[in-house]
Structure 1
Amino acid sequence: MAVGAQFTRPENNGRYDVFHTNCPAREMVDHVTSRWGIWVLISLQTNDLRFFELRDGIQGISEKMLSQTLRGLVEDGLIWRKVEPTTPPQVTYGLTEFGRDVGEPLADLFGRITTRLSAELQS
């Protein structure tokens, strides 16, 4: 492993060192695994949603936090944002191909958890 800041792909395995503070992938991992990032990605797994639909569907999230979370995920290329020129503007969000790829294991994880909890509560 190279000495110094590791913000480029290591030559040995082609992956970023997300444990290093200067790794560019670390910020994306932080966005995805943030308190609200996970919920946004899971919410968008089945349908494209407008801002208010996301806000109403993710209980406990403020408009400010939803805006910040969406902004980060759009910048990371995980979700897309489409603005319709109406009054007021209609803003719709959806998953990019990359976002679907990242979101699938999260949805699977949550499915496993809820299935397991349901089974334990019934016994």
Structure 2
Amino acid sequence: MVTASSGGERGNVYAADCPTRLLLDRIADKWTVLLLTTLSDGPMRFNALKRRIEGVSQKMLSQTLRQIERDGLVTRRVEPSVPVSVTYTITPLGQGLVQALRPMIDWAETRMSEVAVAQSAYDARSGGG
């Protein structure tokens, strides 16, 4: 089992009851990845994030931001103005995750054509997709 401190016992993602699975699920989510990599460029307000990340709904953006704030990956600062302004900033913990994600993103961006060829070949063999 994982303890709360950073020096705690290591989790076992293969164990059914390990909370690491929940964290793995979160960091494998496309919206989490896109939000964290966007925020790694600097703090942003909610509407700027919505404009920058094409296809994300307001509901999904709000939900994902709450989840990654709870996980300690971003902070939320409410500015008392009319209307209220909310700014999100990536934390050092979130920056560490982004550093781990960047090679995966690079791989996906540079290998998509190979994956598309493999998908087409599979679809041709199996009679469709």
**For this structure pair, what is the TM-score category when the shorter chain's length is used for normalisation?**
0.7 to 0.9
Deviations 1:3-46 (A, max 9, x none): xxxx346xxxx420122232222222211111211111111111
Partner in structure 2 of residue 99 of structure 1:
94
Q: Which moved more, 1:23-32 or 1:55-64?
A: 23-32
Alignment counterpart, residue 28 of structure 1, candidates 23, 28, 48:
23
Aligned-CA RMSD value: 1.9
Q: Which runs of 5+ in 1 are unaligned?
A: 1-6, 119-123
Provide the rounded CA distance (Å) in 1 between the counterparts of 2:66 and 2:102.
Answer: 21
Matched, 1:76 2:77: no
Provide the rounded CA distance (Å) in 1 between the counterparts of 2:74 and 2:2.
Answer: 24
Q: Which runs of 5+ in 2 are unaligned?
A: 4-8, 114-129
Distance 1:8 1:101, change over 3 A: closer
Partner in structure 2 of residue 3 of structure 1:
none
Alignment counterpart, residue 17 of structure 1, candidates 12, 33, 51:
12
What is the total number of aligned residue pairs between the two structures? 108
Offset of residue 117 of structure 1 = 6.3
Provide the rounded CA distance (Å) in 1 between the counterparts of 2:81 and 2:17.
Answer: 41
Q: Percent identity?
A: 37
Provide the rounded CA distance (Å) in 1 between the counterparts of 2:51 and 2:109.
Answer: 21
Provide the rounded CA distance (Å) in 1 between the counterparts of 2:103 and 2:60.
Answer: 25
Partner in structure 2 of residue 121 of structure 1:
none
Offset of residue 115 of structure 1 = 5.0
TM-score (norm: length of structure 2):
0.74
Q: Which moved more, 1:30-39 or 1:57-66?
A: 30-39
Aligned with 1:36: secondary structure? helix
Runs of 4+ residues deviating >6 angstroms: none
